[in-house]
Amino acid sequence: MDAQTAGTVVIAVATVIYTAATIALWRQTSRQVRLTREIFETTHRPHLALRAEVWSAAPQDLRTARQVRLFVKNHGTVPAAVTGWRASVTEGQRQLAEQIVAEGNLSLSLFPEREEMGKPLEIRSAQDAAYASNLSERGDLPTLVVEATVHYRGMLPATYWTRARIEIHPHWMVTTRHDTGDGTA
């Protein structure tokens, strides 16, 4: 092998090594950019939570409850744009109220550490409240179950959701469970 051929082989091998190293560096840089974006999105996003208040004709008497009001609070670091809403109130097997606002048909802005009330859910008319108050004579006390899902987005194009199940027991003990996620639920 002459010197010119040997030099060409050395240059070709070095070019292959440099190309492989450049591709590996490009892959690692792309991975680092993706991880940095994920960290930024996780720390700079809205986090919504739900709570319920019951409005009753007689204080401390769940049987006469007429309305459930849902409140949404943003615990995140950036504003949230609420884009959709679904809520229902049940008592045993009986559905008392349902509210559905399809995603994209609602525009409510929530700034960090702010709380807003959604549209109240009317659960009983005066006639229903009279029926419910008669339940106490039979010893049946209701437990109201509020289930709600809120869809929202932050500053970035990602979408999120929060789902809550709130049980309001006869003696006003409240249990709440929240799930959150990104994308569609």
Same domain as 69, residue 152: yes
pLDDT of residue 102: 84
Mean pLDDT for all residues in the chain? 84
Same domain assignment for residues 140 and 74 = yes
Most confident of 17-21, 52-56, 58-62, 179-183: 17-21
- Indicate if 3 and 86 belong to the same structural domain: no
Q: Is 83 in the same domain as 122?
A: yes
5 in the same domain as 65: no
Count of domains forming the chain: 2
Instruction: Give the domain range for residue 26.
Output: 1-43
23-81 tens-digit pLDDT: 999 999 999 999 998 888 778 889 999 999 888 766 666 777 788 899 999 999 999 99
pLDDT score, position 131: 58
Given a contact cutoff of 8 angstroms between Cβ atoms, the answer to whether 47 and 76 are in contact is yes
CA distances to 13, 51, 118 from 69, rounded to whole Å, are: 72, 8, 7
More confident residue, 179 or 130: 179
- pLDDT class for 98, splitting at 50, 70, 90? very high
162 plus 96 within the same structural domain? yes
- Which residue reads 């004709």 in tokens? 57
Q: How far apart are the two ends of the chain, measured CA to CA in Å?
A: 67
List the CATH number of the domain containing 68: 2.60.40
